Structure 1
């Protein structure tokens, strides 16, 4: 009897085990990341080997597989990465398996064979047909809450680089990160990490955008928390990518969008699969560039099968593309449909992997993640609301950890938490502090102290024939000294002329919202005719180098000025100034004081000039960042920047002349499809009054070996002077369009450049006669040494333009530009120095650009 009971119990137990086994469900989870940089890989296919069971990673690179069967291994594969396989534990019902994938180059030509039309083309045509109803541009306005996270790391750390002194002091921290990176991952050293809560606003017509930084949490090596850094970490103004546009701007480059007008001519396409993406059944499309040296993406996208809207995209630019110092640029975006039908970015992740400069150095890695939610559609704000594109709340710094626990859209990862701790360790290492300080001096030009800075270093010394060895030292205060007052000053001295030069300026910020500044300044310095700061403009390097060498056309100038500058409405800047200047030349110079008496007129060899200036500048959609008490422009893309200036000279406050001067300037940079990017500067000026030549319009020449895009590069200094003129400076960069298609040199990433400079001008007879011989100066000034030779102030022929054309190669060894110029007119003209200029000039420059 007992035996039968045991038998029944065993039979029941067997049935229970069989039932449990047949209904068992295995759960496998994990994260798929890039082994080099830790970036999550969306759209990766994960499956059990030998059976048709699998899943796809989401936007965070996470996958979940639930299966009633379990094989011995699991694999993962995705575009441009090596396939990986790992062994499974057959005894475990639940297990976590992460993958770190190594990148590889893949060409769709190797795996795709089509009969008839590519099936992806039909989907792409449908996407373009439905572009207007899906594109965010159809919305009159939108706004949303945003959370962004940014991290800057040191990566690609070579073994030799680890042996350096600075690295040995943080070896313990590096070891922790190597462990966290995973069995196949590589270590990175975080140097900056931030998270930001903001509100983003956009208005379509007229186009306006604004981001309000509500809270931020910033920690970094060498980073001083403040408004400037807080503006940079918001992200939405810089990473609001729209792949429906023909080009996606990034790092100053225009990347051809796979969904722009040239989708068929630029990319190869492959229809890969159909899958569910957050409730939307989508076509999977892989795209690959036809020429990987062009500015193009490679990647995968998902398009909704019903609305034909772009739902998700993962787009990468590899190191083969014609971009400098970059191993990889990756943009991933997930979009969400609004109530009006258009789609807005819900999640965006971008990564910039900066290559190491040498084999024994290290690279840099910039990562940013943006999450947006709570969309509000078609409720535009008043135009004045958008006046300040980036606004930081007064109480934006939020140190309370409990606040961030509830404010984050997603929790921090274990690597994020360790990164924050590691930064605290690294930034306190003494040698790191030294490196940071040196880098800051190079970047800003100033050695910064608590409330002021000393510099700029580029003007510390120079050597020329007039001053000998010239030394100069200056300072300026910062926002820690005062948020309203700005003080600047400098002093210089030459060992040959033994004359003290000096300058000082006091500014007061009346309004930051409409950027209104009033100020006064005074200076006494040695300048060069035709090379004054107002003529050279913002090219401070060219101005600094112009102080070296022969220094012909030298004169002492005493200058005093009071001014006001304001931006009453966005894009429009108004400047008013009252200025007095003294002209005291060191070369033979004279002008007739009573022109109507001709040769019988008395002459003077110096003058004083008093004038007021009214200037209006219009730059639509120009965006500024505030760096303490200074505004930094991010430019005005595609829209011309127009500047109109009027000056009136007065015979008051010691002024010797009464005159009117009118000037206009237009600058624009624009894209010409796949042909590259152009920019032009169109200028014009008119003076109806009789004046000495230095007060007319001297045209900027260039006698150096350095290229200057604002100058006429085959013209000598002060070779031509006009009282009315029109000029055009045009430059075009083909962005590798030609060299990318020449097999022998395409790896060099050279870029063909071309330019043309044209000048129409003239000088009236009255102005020419004003500078001719007359009664000599009665009481000439006492000047140490001999006077430099007399200048001739030639004008252009009214019906004969000055023309020069140029061509050359940019991006030689990634930093050099070499350009040849041919002078096509005035080939026999004698320059002020008595020489006939060469019709050919070769100019070079050094610049860092992506």
Structure 2
């Protein structure tokens, strides 16, 4: 028997349960990531099967769905990925369901049907019209606090690769990481991870940028903590992408922006949806390249319906694009509106998926996340503040986990934490240490020890007719030895000439901020006319190859120099030096000491030269990194680099000549729309004084099989010598403009290249007469051995330029370049040693480029 009070209680409970069930709400959350690399996928659509209920993932790939009615399954779909579906449990009101999606190529042509004008075009025109209001370039200056996280992994591990000795030693740790990757995730081996806090500053006019690395925590396999690594992990200097520009620079490539001036000619567009993105009602816009072999993106962006500003973008460059060694480049960016109306990047995530070079090798995965906040606009600093673009604070190293718990903008994921632990395991494996050492030698040319390095390996051995088998060994100290003093030295010996060659240098870094260095050096070596280091420049590989073979135009040179170099303000460098050089040729050589006496003048077959040099170099917006005690330029591709040089010869310190020499050089690399990228080197020189031919301007020829960008590739060594000249070396890379559109070969990713080299010069009669025969001289040193024949040192016709043109194919098997050159003038001119002219030359080179 049920009592009335009990009955009432049961009724209340039943009613309460019925009410709760009627008002029950299911909550489903999760993270959507790329199954291959673990990268979050923003803008993915997550929905319940058979129902009009769903959500979209945010910038971190997170979704939240709240609903009173639940279907039996949940799905996720997004552009360029396979659609996934999972079963739901209706008995559970709060569920966490993560998705890992497999990549899949997609073309918008399959789904887009328009009647009349594409509706996306009106929105894109509005975006262009409002660009001046929304683009960060409208700001005079801005600054913000930044947190960045970088990770480098080994991925695409084949079963055969896992069987290698190095892999077996860390297999246990890898298995833990595989479990964390989840049901669909691919195994990866973290090799580097870092966290960085920095302050970033930008000034628009003149354009200046600066990043101060405040704190960092760096852990990696083979990574030696120091200035170079600390500067790279900052991120904002390298990853401050602006999609309003016509091109987005990445890895030295210019990727066509979907919101640049050519948005209609390069991309196909689809207006997909309208959604709320952080309080902004936005148009969802999908874009797809018209030619996937071009340097273009595929992805999705959200544009504010009121201001027509770019709010978020997720852009990917696939492996179909004409980029080497890369399976994918992905850039995701979320922007925030400032008080002045312009938008700045608040979050940026980029990923580089480096392809495996062979079937059984592994690939690499570079991921970086940058979070910016506390924006301050239109408060520019003094110009001098930006002199050092990247600055690392003295106490930047901060490994304390408690500090980072408070400092980082977002918490680390479980995968991040395990990755850090795995790095400790991997970097202590002996075979890994060996691989790291080999990689360092290949990259730097030196075998590094604690405080110095031995090398460079490319100069260890050469064979030529003068020296026989030449061996050379050198060293240089590093920043562990001293952060101010740099010591360098080398010694070489030939089995045929039995002559010791040597060199030494001592440098002192006075200031790193304004890069002020003073030094003294001395050397004795065998050189060649027109192929000396100061003429060849930084092309160390070409210089090493010129030391093989016949070795014509050889001479011994004893050189001493004192120099001072400084950068008083950003982009301007001054160098001054006092140099003495001795010229002792191994070929028949003489010049008249008193040319006014004609054939009755005495002659000399060697000379000493003492001169002062002042050089001014102007390179706007050039950025440098410090690698220990060395400064590495990242170039100044979009503005000319101008170098002006003046030399004054003096009759002091055994100098035989008094003269003036003026030189100028301009280099620039620039983009020509969709046609490709060009670069040119414009040079000029003038010597008003009569001097022996080796002291004039011997023009750089190339008799090797290897291509040299700075040389005249159909010209013999020192074939022409001028006392007044102007030259132009012009090169153009069409990227994939032609070959990308030829069906039979577009998969090869070849790149058409073209070049033209022009030289206009002359040699005055007084310089020619100075080299004419007169009273011969006998040098006892030369009578002991066989001299090479006399050379002509011809001048150019001032009314007839030397011209050569070239064309070829770059990126053959991703590393080879073959270029043909035609000589169009001086086709009857003999080389200094009497060789026939070369109207045609075929050159090859090996280089790694993306």
TM-score (norm 2): 0.99
Matched ranges for 1:628-643 at <5 A:
628-643=628-643
1:426–1:299 distance in 2 versus 1, CA, 3 Å: same
In 2, are the aligned partners of 1:605 and 1:780 still within 8 Å (CA)? no
For 1:569 and 1:429, how far apart are their aligned partners in 2? Answer: 46
SS in 2 for 1:775: coil
Partner of residue 115, structure 1: 115
2:202 aligned with 1:194, yes or no?
Answer: no
How far apart are residue 17 of structure 1 and its match? 2.0
Query: Structure 2, unaligned stretches of length 5 or more?
Result: none
> 1:401: Cα distance to partner?
1.3
Residues 702 and 708, structure 2, Cα contact 8 Å, conserved in 1? yes
Separation (CA, whole Å) in 1 of partners of 2:598 and 2:104: 81
Aligned runs of 1:341-352 on 2, under 5 Å? Answer: 341-352=341-352
Q: Secondary structure at the match of 1:487?
A: strand
1:425-483 per-residue CA deviation (whole Å, 9 max, x = no partner) reads: 00000000000000000000000011100000111111101000001100000111111
What corresponds to 2:334 in structure 1?
A: 334
Alpha-carbon contact 2:134-2:309 (below 8 Å) kept: yes
Query: For residues 547 and 223 of structure 2, what CA distance do their matches in structure 1 show?
Result: 35
CA RMSD of aligned residues (A): 0.8
> In the alignment, what sits opposite 1:659?
659
In the TM superposition, residue 2 of structure 1 has moved relative to its aligned partner by 2.8
CA contact (8 A) 1:470 1:493 kept: yes
- Distance change in 2, residues 1:527/1:778 (3 Å): closer
Kindly provide the CA deviation profile for residues 527-553 of structure 1, in whole angstroms up to 9, marking residues without a partner as x: 011110011000000000100011011
Residue in structure 1 matched with residue 226 of structure 2 by the alignment: 226
1:376-395, Cα deviation, whole Å (9 max, x unpaired): 01000000000000000000
Aligned length in residues:
850
Distance 2:239 2:742 in 1: 34
Q: Deviations over 1:770-797 (max 9, x none)?
A: 1111010155534542000111110000
How far has the Cα of 1:7 moved from its partner?
A: 5.0
Name the structure 2 match of 1:712: 712
Alignment of 1:464-543 (within 5 A): 464-543=464-543
Q: d(CA) in 2 for partners of 1:741 and 1:498? A: 58
Decide whether the 8 Å contact of 2:802 with 2:825 is kept in 1: yes
Higher mean alpha-carbon deviation, 63-72 vs 255-264, is at 63-72
Q: Secondary structure of 2:559's partner?
A: strand
> How far apart are the structure 2 equivalents of 1:595 and 1:298?
71
2:525 aligned counterpart, secondary structure: strand
Q: Equivalent residue of 1:791, what SS?
A: coil
C-alpha deviation, 1:567, in angstroms: 0.4
SS in 2 for 1:105: coil
1:95 to 2:83 alignment: no
User: C-alpha deviations, 1:689-734, integer Å up to 9, x for none?
Assistant: 0000000000000001100000000000000000000000000000
Spell out the pairing of 1:450-849 with structure 2 (5 A cutoff): 450-849=450-849
State the SS of the aligned residue for 2:772. coil
- Any idea what SS the aligned residue of 2:17 has? helix
Q: Which residue does the alignment assign to 2:418?
A: 418
Inter-partner Cα distance in structure 1 for 2:271 and 2:525: 69
Structure 1 residue 291 and structure 2 residue 291: aligned?
yes
Q: How does 1:238-253 map to 2 (within 5 A)?
A: 238-253=238-253
CA distance in 2, matches of 1:16, 1:694: 104
1: CA distance, partners of 2:363 / 2:677: 29
Cα distance in structure 2, aligned partners of 1:616 and 1:159? 57
For structure 1, which segment, 780-789 or 792-801, has the greater mean C-alpha deviation from structure 2 after superposition? 780-789
Q: Is the 8 A contact 2:470 2:492 kept in 1?
A: yes
* Range with bigger deviation, 9-18 or 285-294: 9-18
Within 5 Å, which residues of 2 pair with 1:109-258?
109-258=109-258
Shift of 1:837: 1.7
- 1:725, 1:242 → 2: CA distance? 42
Distance 2:625 2:524 in 1: 32
Partner of 2:121: helix, strand, or coil?
helix
Whole-Å separation in 2 of the counterparts to 1:495 and 1:391: 49
Q: Equivalents in 2 of 1:3, 1:780: separation in Å?
A: 135
Q: Distance in 1 between matches of 2:351 and 2:598?
A: 71
Secondary structure (helix, strand or coil) at the match of 2:432 reads helix
TM superposition shift of 1:340:
0.1
**How many angstroms apart in 2 are the aligned matches of 1:589 and 1:194?**
61
Q: Distance in 2 between the 1:491 and 1:44 partners?
A: 63
Verify the 8 A CA contact 2:586 2:782 in the aligned structure 1: no
Structure 2 residue aligned with 1:382: 382
In structure 2, do the counterparts of structure 1 residues 36 and 779 end up closer, same or farther at CA, with 3 Å as the change threshold? closer
Aligned to 1:16: 16
User: Aligned partners of 1:271 and 1:572: how far apart in 2?
Assistant: 49
C-alpha distance in 1 between matches for 2:259 and 2:572: 35
**Deviation sequence 1:630-688 (CA, Å, 0-9, x none):** 10000012100000000000111100000000000000000000000000000000000
Partner SS state of residue 668, structure 1: strand
* Equivalent-residue separation in structure 2 for 1:838 and 1:487 (angstroms): 44
Provide the C-alpha distance between the structure 1 equivalents of 2:217 and 2:511, rounded to a whole number of angstroms: 27
Whole-angstrom CA distance in 1 between matches of 2:183 and 2:617: 58
Deviations 1:303-340 (A, max 9, x none): 00000000000000000000000000000000000000
Deviations 1:18-74 (A, max 9, x none): 211110011111000000000000000001111111110000000111111111100
Tell me what 1:279 maps to.
Answer: 279
Deviations 1:90-124 (A, max 9, x none): 11011100000000000000001000000000000
Distance 1:436 1:117 in 2: 57
Q: CA deviation at 1:4?
A: 5.6
Matched residue of 1:228: which SS?
helix
Tell me if the contact between 2:319 and 2:328 (Cα under 8 Å) persists in the aligned partners. Answer: yes
The alignment partner of 1:327 has SS state of: strand
1:36 corresponds to 2:36 = yes
Shift of 1:9: 4.4
Shift of residue 12, structure 1, vs aligned partner: 3.4
1:466, 1:551 within 8 Å by CA — same for their partners in 2? yes
Q: Which whole-Å CA distance do the structure 2 matches of 1:82 and 1:281 have between them?
A: 27
Shift of 1:89: 1.1
Asked if the contact 2:605/2:779 (under 8 Å) is kept, the reply is: no
Q: Equivalents in 1 of 2:493, 2:206: separation in Å?
A: 52
Three-state SS of the structure 2 residue aligned to 1:458 is: helix
- Provide the rounded CA distance (Å) in 2 between the counterparts of 1:784 and 1:119: 87
TM-score, length basis structure 1: 0.99
Report the secondary structure of 1:2's partner residue.
coil
Which residue matches 2:260?
260
Secondary structure of the structure 1 residue equivalent to 2:549? coil
CA distance in 2, matches of 1:549, 1:398: 54
